[in-house]
Amino acid sequence: MLRNLKAFLIFLALTLVISGPAFAQDAKLIEAAKKEGGKVVLYGSLESDTVEAVRKAFQKKTGIEAEYWRASATKVMDRALNEYRAGRPLFDVILTNDNPLQIMQKQGVFAKYESPSAKDFPKDAIDPNLGPRYRNVIIGIVYNKGVIKSADAPKSLEDLLKPQYKGKLVMPDPTQHTTTTQWVASLFKLMGKEKSDKFIRDLAGMKPILVESLLPAAERVTTGETPIAITYVKYAFIFGQKGAPMDYVRLEKMLGDGHYAPLSNKAPHPNAGKTFIDFFLGDESMNIMARMGEFVNRKGVFPPLPDADKIQFVEMLDLDTKGFAEKKKEYAKIFLR
Amino acid sequence: MAAGRDLPAGWALSRAGIFLTQPINLIFLGVAGIIAFLSLYPTFFLIYGSLTDAPLGVPGHFTLNNYIRAYSDPETYRLIVTSFVFGLGASGLSVVLALTLAWITIRTNAPFSRLFELTAIVPNIMPPILIAISWVLLLNPNNGLINASLVKLFGWQQGPFNIYSLPGLIFVEGLILTPLAFLIIAAALKSMDPALEESAKTLGSSEFGVARRITLPLMRPAILAAGTLNFVRAVESFDTPAIIALPARIEVFTTKIWREALGSFPTNHNLAATYGVGILVIALLFVYLYRRFTSQIESFSTVTGKGFRPHQIDLGPWKYSASLVALLLLILMVVLPFLVLLLVALLPYYHVPTWQTWQNLTLDNFRYIWDTSRVHRAFANSLFLALVGASVCMLLAALTSYITVRTKIAARGLLEGLVFIPWAFPGTALALGLLWAYVDFPIPVYATIWIIMIAYVTRFLPYGLRAVSSTIIQIHKELEEASVACGAGFFATFRRILIPMMRPGVMAGWIILATIFMREFSATLFLYSPSAEPLGPLLYFLYLDGMRGRVAAIGLVISVISILLIAVAQRFSRWEKS
């Protein structure tokens, strides 16, 4: 008994010695954050239920309140940039994808903050300016297995061109929806330039149903109106969880977008912002997110989607304003004939 | 004018003095000042944005390139024509449906008319996007519920309806726009003196003849008001086209604006504002036409000093048929889309119902509303905005409408034009104008609930104005003159004579505004802070996150609350009248 207690005390002391500085830093930061008003303001395009789960855990651990303004990535950038330019930024941290963040970064919106939690991310997933790429949002083929049996489902992107799928395919309009423009423009990373050029033309020739964005595409799969969609793979999990008969095609490689959580350099609550980022990139929050269907960049942490660990992520091409405009014009000629 | 130049300076000053001693002129100055500020301040940024080559807030150069880019493309004009067809079709359909429904519920003794009148407002409460989605679930060619049922029933190869077509687009938008037209037309019908109709009848006209020759022409201001509003609303709407036109591969003006400006990455605000100026020109043209068609105001004055009570036409045995027609219209406008939304709210995920479906029904989405304090806060914020915002807006609308219709003040037409300016810009473009206008405003309203109210009043004043103007036109001047002759001042006359006489219009406008304010988001999105979140943005992000069940459930609860509110408000206004 006594020996056990002794062992425990030694263990406790060791733990304190090892993690002491981190704890001390945490406590100091939290104290400073509370002096700023005890709240952090987040703008982002991360799904609100996910943020809600993280927010609760964060508040429980630190006692700091997190307020979240959720909109699409473009709108997040619009509001944040406008506030910033007017000298009245109300946000501390932005949670959104690579492209808009790079544009904001060029305008000097972000402060450089090296979070202690960053050390647990793979080196190639750390952007020098934006910090760790905490999640990958992956686009693939999702289908309704109630309408299309798994054996009859497409096995590759090229399979989508088979005549049997004509009229059964839905995708966001690549001339309207930015991420889809980017996806089509990045296909060469999967199949090479020549093959991808032909694939894009043939895909357009299939006359897929075009919708506004990735979500309506997935929703048409759940309702069975159009059984196959090019959309986020995670929807197979999210809608599957609610009972929809969804599955995704196990493509060898899939394109996707990286998401980051940078700190504003004019944050009204800089310490609360840092506290949030430390927690957000930490183990507890990454596990919460993975459980909710996100592909987080942590070794061995996967969403509860079958074969999620086998997916090879390929980051999509970064396009600038001119690049987007040109591609949209090009695809209008191909897709809207 | 030439004589004016020869007059001594003191004379002009004393004229200004006389101008200022009249209370109506002071009110004109006050109202004009408020409206000019609300409308021109954000619009200035949009127009400025259309003439520069840098995003707002970044120093740029003057340029006409945005205009050249937007309006030198022949496609723009082709799409404007498609948008015109769409706008005329949808607003025409809405006016025809509204007129039929209003005539049955207001002027005839058809049974259940009160209930019908209340139900007709419901679709105005729902976010338009939800109604469009409901119709896709009902009428899509692959598995739309109506198509699927008909296929099953008759053993056809495929369903007869295809929502993804121009008629489908017009049909859905027309249904979405009907409540607004209904409220305006019903208000005018309520305050119409039946004496003219009775004379025509005495002279041997049939009921149909009376409707065609007397009622319809007298309703012209209201019909034009409703038609004008709905036309512009259809032309600038993006929700329904996004849901229906995109899959149908029909291009309209707004889908082009979306692709090139609002939906481009990053958003091209300059080009969006430039396109907005185009819609503004169309809207102002319609305001001008409206004013021309209703310029001989006296000819519409049917509410005179003689005591009258809008009487009801006895349809005899036909009254049940009239109820049936109203019921059929309401099934299209309200019952069908709402049943679909109820299904969406009760299912864990939407699918074509089978027998198994009934075992999966769940109240989770309603439980979410019950359990989540964030939703409760949003309800409280939106109720506040609806009640206070709609009242403030209607006060401004009533004053503006009095000035533009009743007085001979020189710049009154301009005032009306001003009201319409911010409304003509697409919602998202205006939102950016508002963001820029108020983010750095000396009075710290940005990211508070007050900025949302300012945005609502700015954007939706035209609805209030149209509703109240089409009834004020009907009030004969002799009532005011009598009041003034009896020694009452302007305020007493306005309060005792005009407000009570305008009540149907004020009430209609208030209902339109309150129901929109309960769920508006596009003008609010950039302005609110998460700590003062109303329902509209909450619905928007739930929708973005793919939680249609929750959106539908909240939508249904908002509808019920709004209906109760409206019923109480109507009762209150009737009680005051008696």
Candidates B283, B289, B324, B249; CA nearest to B82 is: B249
pLDDT band at B575 (very low <50, low <70, confident <90, very high): very low
Look at residue B484 and tell me whether its pLDDT is greater than 70: yes
Q: Across the interface, do A219 and B350 touch by the CB < 8 Å criterion?
A: yes
pLDDT band at B1 (very low <50, low <70, confident <90, very high): very low
**For range B249-277, the mean pLDDT:** 81
Look at residue A130 and tell me whether its pLDDT is greater than 60: yes
Q: Which two tokens stand for residue B17?
A: 């003095």
Look at residue B280 and tell me whether its pLDDT is greater than 90: no
Mind telling me how many Å the CA of B133 is from chain A's nearest CA?
10
- Of A207-211, B97-101, B160-164, B466-470, give the lowest mean pLDDT range: B466-470
**For range B197-209, the mean pLDDT:** 78
Look at residue A318 and tell me whether its pLDDT is greater than 90: no
Spatial neighbors of B204 by CB under 8 A, at least 6 apart, are none
The HSE-up count of residue A222 (CA atoms within 13 Å, CB side) is: 27
Domains of chain B from N-terminus onward: 24-296+319-577 (1.10.3720.10)
Tell whether B310 lies on the interface with A, counting CB pairs under 8 A. no
- Of A188-202, B405-419, B509-523, give the lowest mean pLDDT range: B405-419
pLDDT band at A14 (very low <50, low <70, confident <90, very high): low
Largest CA distance in chain B: 90
Look at residue B576 and tell me whether its pLDDT is greater than 50: no
pLDDT single digits (tens) B60-116: 889 999 999 889 988 888 888 999 999 999 999 999 999 999 989 988 888 888 888
pTM, two decimal places: 0.84
Q: Which two tokens stand for residue A273?
A: 């912002």
DSSP 8-state code for residue B313: B
Look at residue B233 and tell me whether its pLDDT is greater than 80: yes
Candidates A177, A133, A173; CA nearest to A313 is: A133
Determine which of B58, B250, B265 to mutate to test the interface with A (most A C-beta atoms within 10 Å): B265
Tell whether B530 lies on the interface with A, counting CB pairs under 8 A. yes
Q: Across the interface, do A215 and B544 touch by the CB < 8 Å criterion?
A: yes
From-to residues of CATH 3.40.190.10 in chain A: 38-135+258-304, 136-256+309-335
Look at residue B534 and tell me whether its pLDDT is greater than 50: yes
Tell whether B349 lies on the interface with A, counting CB pairs under 8 A. yes
Question: Is residue A264 a contact partner of residue A93, using CB atoms and an 8 Å limit?
Answer: yes
pLDDT of residue B552: 92
Tell whether B242 lies on the interface with A, counting CB pairs under 8 A. yes
- Of A270-279, B277-286, B323-332, give the lowest mean pLDDT range: B277-286
pLDDT of residue B47: 86
**For range B36-40, the mean pLDDT:** 88
pLDDT of residue A113: 94
Q: Across the interface, do A224 and B243 touch by the CB < 8 Å criterion?
A: no
Q: Across the interface, do A69 and B242 touch by the CB < 8 Å criterion?
A: no
What are phi and psi for residue A255, nearest 5 degrees? -85, 150
**Minimum-distance CB partner of A86 among B269, B439, B547:** B439
**For range A315-321, the mean pLDDT:** 87
- Quick one: residue B487, left, alpha or beta (phi over 0 = left, psi -120 to 50 = alpha)? left
Candidates B79, B74, B255, B85; CA nearest to B166 is: B85
Chain B residues in contact with A222 (beta carbon < 8 A):
349-351
Q: Which two tokens stand for residue B108?
A: 């005839």
More reliable by pLDDT, A29 or A17: A29
Q: Which two tokens stand for residue A23?
A: 């704890």
Give the whole-angstrom CA distance, residue B298 versus residue B304: 11
Nearest CA in chain B to A212: B242
pLDDT band at B304 (very low <50, low <70, confident <90, very high): low
Give the whole-angstrom CA distance, residue B247 versus residue B165: 9
Chain A residues in contact with B265 (beta carbon < 8 A):
74, 99-100, 178, 181, 319, 321, 324
**Minimum-distance CB partner of A47 among B243, B265, B545:** B545
Look at residue B32 and tell me whether its pLDDT is greater than 80: yes
pLDDT band at A138 (very low <50, low <70, confident <90, very high): very high
ipTM confidence score: 0.80
**For range A76-96, the mean pLDDT:** 91
Spatial neighbors of A332 by CB under 8 A, at least 6 apart, are A175, B259
Instruction: Specify the CATH superfamily of domain A136-256+309-335.
Output: Periplasmic binding protein-like II (3.40.190.10)
More reliable by pLDDT, B303 or B7: B303
Give the whole-angstrom CA distance, residue B226 versus residue B188: 11
Cβ neighbours of A194 (radius 10 Å): 9
pLDDT of residue B406: 77
**For range A311-323, the mean pLDDT:** 89
**Minimum-distance CB partner of B247 among A79, A210, A319:** A210
pLDDT of residue B367: 94
Look at residue A118 and tell me whether its pLDDT is greater than 80: yes
Candidates B179, B144, B184; CA nearest to B162 is: B144
pLDDT single digits (tens) A146-166: 999 999 999 999 999 999 999
More reliable by pLDDT, B268 or A254: A254
Nearest CA in chain A to B262: A74
Proportion of chain A in helix, strand, coil states, percent, rounded to 5? 50, 20, 30
Query: Average pLDDT of chain A?
Result: 90
The CATH number of the structural domain formed by A38-135+258-304 is 3.40.190.10
Q: Across the interface, do B266 and A78 touch by the CB < 8 Å criterion?
A: yes
Question: Is residue B487 a contact partner of residue B563, using CB atoms and an 8 Å limit?
Answer: no
DSSP 8-state code for residue B312: -
Q: Which two tokens stand for residue B63?
A: 């340029």
Q: What residues of chain B, 153 to 192, have a C-beta less than 8 Å from chain A?
A: none
pLDDT single digits (tens) A243-254: 899 999 999 899
